[in-house]
C-alpha cells in the first residue's frame, strides 16, 4: 500500500478519479498505524504538557490534560467534547478521524452560524480566538476549514464545512456563510480563500480578491487551474509584461 499510494497522491492535479480514490481510502487505515504508534511515539511530547500547564498563565492552568495519564485509549478523553456539546444543543455534526490531537468536526453550512454563536459565547466553551480560515479542495468536496482556539484555556477545535462538488451548479462557486459578523479577523481570511480557492462566502461585507489583482481570472489553488498567461514565456500581445 505504501508503495503505490505516494505515486497516486503525487499528482493531485491529475483529474483521474481512480487515481485519487486510493489515497482517500487509505486515509482511515493510515491513521490507524499512527494511532498505534502514538502512545510510545508521543510520550515525550505528552509528558511535557502537564508540566507545561503549571508555569503557564493562570488562566490556562485550569484546562484538563488527561491524554498523558492513560496511554490505553488512543483517542484522548476530551475527544468529542465539542461534538457532544453541539449535539446537546441540537446542532447536527460529525467527528472526522483526521487528526489525533485536535478534534475535527464536520458541519453543514446551514448550521455554521448557530454553531459558532454557541461555541464562541457560551459559558462552558469559549472558543473565542479565530486563528485562520482555509480553503481546501479534496477529491469530491470543497472544504472551508476554521481553526478555533481559546484565549482562556487550551481548547482547540477544527470545523470543516464540506460542500460537495456535485452540489455546486455549473459555472458557479461553492457557497458557505460568512462568519465575519463574529470575528473581524475572518474578513481577510475569507477574502483570501475566495481569491485563491474560489469559495464564495455569503453575506461577506466585501467579497473581493485580496492577493491577486481584481481582474484575475481563475482560482490559483484549484486543481484544475490553468494560468492563462505564461509569465516566463509570454506570447500574449495584450500583456503589459
Residues within the interface to another protein (CB under 8 A): 2, 5-10, 12, 23, 26-27, 30-31, 34, 37-38, 41-42, 44, 48-49, 51-52, 55-57, 59-60, 98-99, 101-102, 104, 128-132, 134, 136-138, 145, 147, 149, 151, 154, 158, 183-185, 187-188, 192, 196, 210-213, 220-221
Smallest distance from the beta carbon of 90 to another protein, in angstroms? 28
Residues 188/162, Cβ–Cβ less than 8 Å: no
Sign of the C-alpha dihedral computed for residues 136, 137, 138 and 144 taken in this order: positive
Cα–Cα nearest to 203, from 217, 187, 192: 187
Smallest distance from the beta carbon of 166 to another protein, in angstroms? 20
* Separation between Cα atoms, residue 241 and residue 236, nearest integer Å: 9
Q: Considering the complex, state which of residue 17 and residue 88 has its C-beta at the smaller distance from another protein.
A: 17
Smallest distance from the beta carbon of 116 to another protein, in angstroms? 14
Q: Considering the complex, state which of residue 163 and residue 196 has its C-beta at the smaller distance from another protein.
A: 196
Smallest distance from the beta carbon of 148 to another protein, in angstroms? 11
Q: Considering the complex, state which of residue 99 and residue 110 has its C-beta at the smaller distance from another protein.
A: 99
> Would you call 44 exposed, middle or buried from its count of C-beta atoms within 10 A (0-12, 13-18, 19+)?
exposed
Q: Considering the complex, state which of residue 44 and residue 169 has its C-beta at the smaller distance from another protein.
A: 44
Q: Considering the complex, state which of residue 89 and residue 184 has its C-beta at the smaller distance from another protein.
A: 184
* Separation between Cα atoms, residue 156 and residue 231, nearest integer Å: 41
- Within 10 angstroms of residue 156's Cβ, the number of other Cβ atoms is 16
* Separation between Cα atoms, residue 134 and residue 114, nearest integer Å: 20
- Helix ranges (H only) for 94-218 are 112-121, 185-197
Smallest distance from the beta carbon of 92 to another protein, in angstroms? 22
Smallest distance from the beta carbon of 88 to another protein, in angstroms? 26
Work out whether strand 141-149 and strand 200-202 pair parallel, antiparallel, or are unpaired. unpaired
Residues 127/134, Cβ–Cβ less than 8 Å: no
Q: Considering the complex, state which of residue 30 and residue 110 has its C-beta at the smaller distance from another protein.
A: 30
Amino acid at each position: 500500500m505504501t508503495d503505490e499510494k505516494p505515486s497516486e497522491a503525487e499528482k493531485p492535479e491529475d483529474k483521474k478519479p481512480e487515481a485519487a480514490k486510493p489515497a482517500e481510502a487509505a486515509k482511515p487505515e493510515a491513521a490507524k498505524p499512527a494511532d498505534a504508534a502514538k502512545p510510545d511515539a508521543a510520550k515525550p511530547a505528552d509528558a511535557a504538557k502537564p508540566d507545561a500547564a503549571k508555569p503557564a498563565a493562570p488562566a490556562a492552568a485550569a484546562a484538563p490534560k488527561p491524554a498523558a495519564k492513560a496511554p490505553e485509549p488512543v483517542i484522548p478523553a476530551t475527544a468529542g467534547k465539542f461534538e457532544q456539546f453541539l449535539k446537546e444543543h441540537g446542532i447536527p455534526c460529525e467527528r472526522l478521524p483526521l487528526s489525533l490531537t485536535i478534534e475535527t468536526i464536520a458541519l453543514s453550512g446551514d448550521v455554521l452560524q448557530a454553531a459558532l454563536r454557541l461555541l464562541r459565547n457560551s459559558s462552558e466553551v469559549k472558543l473565542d480566538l479565530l486563528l485562520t480560515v482555509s480553503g481546501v479542495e479534496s477529491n469530491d468536496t470543497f472544504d472551508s476549514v476554521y481553526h478555533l482556539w481559546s484565549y482562556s484555556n487550551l481548547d482547540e477545535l477544527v470545523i470543516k464545512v464540506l460542500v460537495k462538488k456535485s452540489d455546486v451548479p455549473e459555472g458557479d462557486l461553492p457557497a458557505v456563510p460568512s462568519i465575519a459578523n463574529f470575528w473581524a479577523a475572518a474578513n481577510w481570511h475569507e477574502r483570501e480563500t475566495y481569491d485563491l480557492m474560489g469559495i464564495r462566502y455569503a453575506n461577506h461585507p466585501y467579497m473581493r480578491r485580496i492577493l491577486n489583482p481584481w481582474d484575475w481570472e481563475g482560482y490559483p489553488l484549484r486543481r484544475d487551474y490553468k494560468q492563462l498567461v505564461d509569465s516566463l514565456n509570454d506570447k500574449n500581445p495584450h500583456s503589459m509584461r
